[in-house]
Amino acid sequence: MKFCPTCGQPVAEEISACPACGRDLSERRQTIDDYRIVDTLHEGYSTFLCRAVRERTDEQVMIRLFTPRAGVSPEVAARLQRELEELKKLPGEGFVRHHAIRRSSDGLWYRISEWVETESWGSLLASGRLQRRSVLIGLFRQMAEILTVLHAHGHFIPHLILNDIMVVPGDADELRIKIDYKLSRFIDPKLDRPAPMLKKLLAAHPDIVNQRPLDFRSDIWSLGKIFVELLAGDLEIDDIEGKVDDLDVPEDLKVLLRVMLADDPDLRPQSMAEISESLRRIEQIPESPPAPELPPEAAPPPGGLIRRLQKRVRLLAGALVLLIAAGMLAWFFLLRDPRATESALESYANRYAPAVGFVLVEYWLEADGTRVFRNVAEGTAFLVDREGYLLTSRHVVCPWLEDPRFAGAVQYLRMRGLEPAMGYRLYLWFEGTRAFNPAGRVIEGADIADIYFTENAYSTDGSPRVEISGVARPPVRTRQLVKSPLKDDVAVL
């Protein structure tokens, strides 16, 4: 990156004229000491990455030049050099090698690394080479195996993004993975301006957002985010967890992604080796063959065309009749006194208000006597007869049936050889009964009894008592789903 000396506009190195004031900027940096710059690969706020050739040996290298904005001082450079010496202890396979930190003759610091011929993720996605699930899962397994080695050496990379992972083309169209690992992500964490991809991770990672202690399981969440982005072919996803359900992948892979992206680090896989082994098993699942292309439809005969025209005329006539009926109804209601309608509705609402109930369900999972998952759901129920039966929704009283995080936790515990035990409590307050305790919501780690007045409620384990009387089964077949767009979301208390 360089700056226009006339107006100060920052522009890329290869730009020859300032787009703001038109100043000639054709002069560009050609060398760094005895290295000749061949190509600029990436330009950031305070650094730029280039491919260079050492004049004496013709050796190709990768150079990251730190501009004055980077704030690299001799002390920082000494720290970076110590980090490079530590990184040299990592095995050469799977990691980009960094050689040295030096200062140029004009006072700028730069880092020399090995040159790696790579293919960009954007090009691979656009070319369709990653459409085959086996290719993509093979790359995922390589990533997990390399990070397993990194963890074994006592290092981890919680700020892992796709730009840190390089794809190296091999023989016979083979793709290999290398990770560009730095011991410290930021030169100065207080002054650094992260690139867009890193900025997006910093705003989404639950361990970083909630300021939890970072550890090896933080890498696992970051890697799960990368897996979902590549499987979806979308590198700008906002709702990573919600995107998992939309992926056309085996259910085993969906479960693995859900547990990798769990908000609670204790629910994630406890090592990269577990992820690598799961991916190796998923690789063995055969891919379903692509759907055959249907032949183009033949042109309809003239009789079919006439029938379609007649059908359209009938539909238009029906729509006209409905429009006239709607207009007459609107005219009728506009002539009525709105105050009479409001009074009738208010009277009706007041009459039946005591029959409206607020429902709270707390549910959890336990393994070996330890509670490992907990969630709550709220909703409404309506008293419908004198025997005490209430009508409500299935997703209100049995929320675990439609909670992907709950299902992911169950699968994860079973993968670890643990048998989960589920429990729940249901509370019901009728209109006019105190249910909420506002003061309880400011208590950190508050219990249900701190937030709600449970002593005023009907409950499944107290008196007065409420219990689930029946729950409608959700439709699963396509015909049932078409006939029941609300998925028979009904339950009785």
In the DSSP assignment, the letter for residue 440 is: G
In the DSSP assignment, the letter for residue 452 is: B
- Give me the DSSP letters along 256-267: HHHHHT-SSGGG
Helix/strand/coil for 361: strand
Helix/strand/coil for 32: strand
User: How far is C-alpha 118 from the chain's CA centre?
Assistant: 26
The CATH number for 99's domain is 3.30.200.20
From 322, 350, 378, give the residue that closes a domain.
350
Q: What angle (nearest 5°) sits at the alpha carbon of residue 143, between those of residues 139 and 147?
A: 170
Write the single-letter amino acid at 319: A
How many Cα atoms occupy the beta-carbon half-sphere of 243 within 13 Å? 19
Round to whole Å and give the CA distance between 52 and 14: 15
The per-residue pLDDT for 476 is 65
Round to whole Å and give the CA distance between 138 and 47: 33
- 237 in a domain, yes or no? yes
Tell the burial category of 79 from Cβ atoms under 10 Å away from its Cβ (0-12, 13-18, 19+).
middle
In the DSSP assignment, the letter for residue 214 is: P
- The closest alpha carbon to 163, from 122, 129, 130, belongs to 122
Round to whole Å and give the CA distance between 270 and 415: 12
pTM of the model: 0.59
Do 330 and 383 belong to one domain? no
The per-residue pLDDT for 375 is 92
- 407 in a domain, yes or no? yes
The per-residue pLDDT for 460 is 92
Do 236 and 173 belong to one domain? yes
- 297 in a domain, yes or no? no
The per-residue pLDDT for 417 is 85
The per-residue pLDDT for 404 is 86
Do 81 and 212 belong to one domain? no
Helix/strand/coil for 88: coil
- Residue 403 in contact with residue 365, Cβ under 8 Å? no
Do 91 and 160 belong to one domain? no
- Give bridge partners of residue 380 from the DSSP assignment: 358
The CATH number for 165's domain is 1.10.510.10
From 265, 283, 301, give the residue that closes a domain.
283
The per-residue pLDDT for 358 is 94
Name the residue with tokens 């029959």. Answer: 355
- Residue 77 in contact with residue 101, Cβ under 8 Å? yes
Round to whole Å and give the CA distance between 179 and 471: 51
Residue 290 CB coordination number (10 Å): 7
State how many domains the chain has.
4
The per-residue pLDDT for 141 is 93
The per-residue pLDDT for 423 is 93
Do 321 and 367 belong to one domain? no
- 294 in a domain, yes or no? no
Residue 333 CB coordination number (10 Å): 10
Do 333 and 268 belong to one domain? no
The per-residue pLDDT for 6 is 65
φ and ψ at residue 66, rounded to 5 degrees = -95, 115
Helix/strand/coil for 161: coil
Q: Which residues contact 14 (CB under 8 A, 6 or more apart)?
A: 28, 40
Do 167 and 262 belong to one domain? yes
Do 363 and 472 belong to one domain? yes
Number of residues that make up the chain? 493
- 304 in a domain, yes or no? no
Do 92 and 31 belong to one domain? yes
- Residue 67 in contact with residue 3, Cβ under 8 Å? no
Domain that holds residue 150: 121-186+195-283
How many Cα atoms occupy the beta-carbon half-sphere of 367 within 13 Å? 17
pLDDT in tens, the chain (493 residues): 666 766 767 777 667 677 777 666 656 678 888 899 888 887 777 788 889 999 888 899 999 888 887 778 888 888 888 888 888 888 878 898 988 899 988 888 899 999 988 888 888 888 888 888 888 999 999 999 999 999 998 888 988 999 889 999 887 778 999 998 887 777 666 555 677 888 888 889 999 899 889 889 999 999 999 999 999 888 888 888 888 988 888 888 999 999 999 998 888 998 999 999 999 999 888 766 555 555 555 555 555 656 776 777 788 888 888 888 888 877 766 666 556 667 777 777 778 888 899 999 999 999 988 888 999 999 999 998 888 999 999 999 999 988 888 988 888 888 888 889 999 999 999 988 888 887 776 677 678 888 888 898 999 988 899 999 999 887 766 555 556 556 678 999 9
